């Protein structure tokens, strides 16, 4: 019987790569240096090489990375514009850093922040914008977002949780704004199990986070001049991150191959529509998004794909952030973000990770076409 195809799955390369990881872990255990050692430093150096940013700081999670960046930017009650179609951690970080999230609408074809909606969200209290690279995409409209921030004196923070290896006009995700935050959660393109990374060119942000991630310790390591906590990344996690970065190009290239197979197979299937923004070979494809059309019941499709084809299809971020009860005090009850509400209600995401074989992609596409056809005629 075929194994279940999961919605997302980490990739570790060939067996010899796994052996390297296990040997490295033994070396760390033997050394007794389980944190703040050589692997953390090497991991950070590799992220500098990958992104082209001047600095990189390994952090305990992607959400913590966002929180520390925003804390370093001294929000003091000011507002930060956030796309509504993101994980709650993005908006949580704004609040925990002392700011107020303002939720904005998205582009239907890219699922990314809509530059045309920013003028509706800016106020005299706006400090900056968080831009989420959805599924690893940085569309052409990002330039308008960057220009808007420059013209209005706003910081621009990249939420690059999906964007390991993504480029925009030759520039790498992680080097496109004031700072960037990566997640290395278990199902992300590159993983350390749990973990995150900040990249930035700013000396002030770099020095601030060096202190904040280590209980607010000052540069001389004897005095503490900030109230903070432990946001450090362990050595074993950093070792895993290094190995993940060493196969990142292979990982992302395979994701792009799978995305191309999906586009070729599904472009003429009645009942689904490909998103125009995701015909982009610079995208890293954390997952492959597409829209259902017609009267297909998404929950029933998900059930049938799992039961009949052993394939898990998913969708993301519903309810949207502006509909989540935790953020109710930051949202006017009359707020509607029409594009996001319409788009996310018909979105499905197909698995797109290097462990998938071509035969798996064929199984997913054939099953999807069969079940959509059956549902449309039931």
Domain ranges of the chain: 15-246, 249-376
The closest of 299, 320, 303 to 311, measured between CA atoms, is: 303
CA atoms within 13 A on the CB side of 286: 26
* Strand partners for 214: 230
Residue 151: both structure tokens together? 């013209």
* Three state DSSP letters for 272-332: EEECHHHCCCCCCCCCEEEEECCCCCHHHHHHHHHHHHCECCECCCCCCHHHCHHHHHHCC
Q: Are 209 and 196 in contact (CB under 8 A)?
A: no
Rounded distance between C-alpha atoms, residue 337 and residue 103, angstroms: 8
Alpha carbon dihedral 262, 373, 275, 337, in 10-degree steps, equals -140
Fold of 15-246: 3.40.640
Residue 238: both structure tokens together? 């950093």
Per-residue pLDDT, 205: 98
What digits encode the pLDDT tens for the residues 87-98?
Answer: 999 999 999 999
What digits encode the pLDDT tens for the residues 34-80?
Answer: 998 999 999 999 999 999 999 999 999 999 999 999 999 999 999 99
Threshold 0.95, pTM exceeds: yes
Domain 249-376 CATH assignment equals 3.90.1150.10: yes
pLDDT over 60 (residue 1)? no
* Three state DSSP letters for 61-77: CHHHHHHHHHHHCCCCC
Position 2 confidence tier, pLDDT thresholds 50, 70, 90: confident
pLDDT over 90 (residue 360)? yes
* Average pLDDT score, the chain: 96
């Amino acid at each position: 019987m075929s194994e279940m195809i999961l919605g997302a799955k980490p990739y570790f390369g060939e067996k010899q790569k796994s052996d390297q990881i296990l040997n490295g872990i033994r070396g760390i255990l033997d050394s007794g240096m389980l944190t703040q050692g050589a692997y953390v430093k090497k991991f950070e150096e590799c992220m500098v090489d990958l992104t082209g940013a001047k600095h990189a700081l390994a952090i305990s999670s992607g959400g913590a990375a966002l929180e520390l960046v925003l804390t370093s930017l001294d929000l003091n009650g000011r507002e930060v514009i956030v796309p509504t179609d993101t994980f709650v951690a993005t908006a949580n970080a704004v609040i925990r850093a002392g700011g107020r999230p303002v939720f904005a609408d998205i582009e239907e074809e890219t699922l990314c922040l809509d530059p045309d909606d920013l003028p509706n969200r800016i106020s005299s209290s706006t400090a900056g914008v968080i831009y989420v690279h959805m599924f690893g995409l940085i569309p052409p409209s990002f330039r308008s977002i960057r220009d808007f921030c420059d013209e209005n004196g706003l910081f621009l923070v990249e939420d690059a949780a999906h964007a390991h290896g993504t480029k925009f006009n030759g520039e790498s995700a992680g080097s496109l704004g004031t700072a960037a935050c990566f997640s290395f959660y278990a199902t992300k393109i590159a993983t350390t199990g749990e973990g995150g990374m900040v990249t930035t060119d700013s000396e002030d942000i770099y020095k601030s986070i060096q202190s904040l991630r280590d209980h607010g310790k000052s540069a001389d390591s004897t005095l503490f001049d900030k109230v903070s906590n432990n946001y450090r990344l362990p050595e074993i996690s950093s070792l895993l991150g290094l190995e993940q970065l060493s196969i990142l190009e292979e990982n992302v290239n395979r994701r792009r191959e799978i995305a191309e197979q999906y586009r070729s197979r599904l472009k003429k299937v009645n009942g689904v529509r490909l998103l125009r923004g995701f015909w982009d070979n610079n995208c890293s494809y954390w997952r492959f998004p597409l829209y259902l059309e017609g009267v297909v019941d998404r929950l029933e499709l998900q059930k049938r794909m799992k039961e009949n084809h052993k394939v898990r299809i998913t969708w993301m971020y519903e309810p949207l952030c502006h509909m989540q009860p935790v953020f109710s005090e930051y949202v006017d009850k009359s707020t509607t973000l029409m594009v996001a509400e319409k788009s996310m209600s018909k979105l499905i995401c197909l698995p797109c990770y290097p462990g998938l074989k071509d035969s798996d992609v064929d199984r997913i596409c054939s099953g999807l076409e069969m079940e959509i056809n059956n549902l449309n005629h039931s």
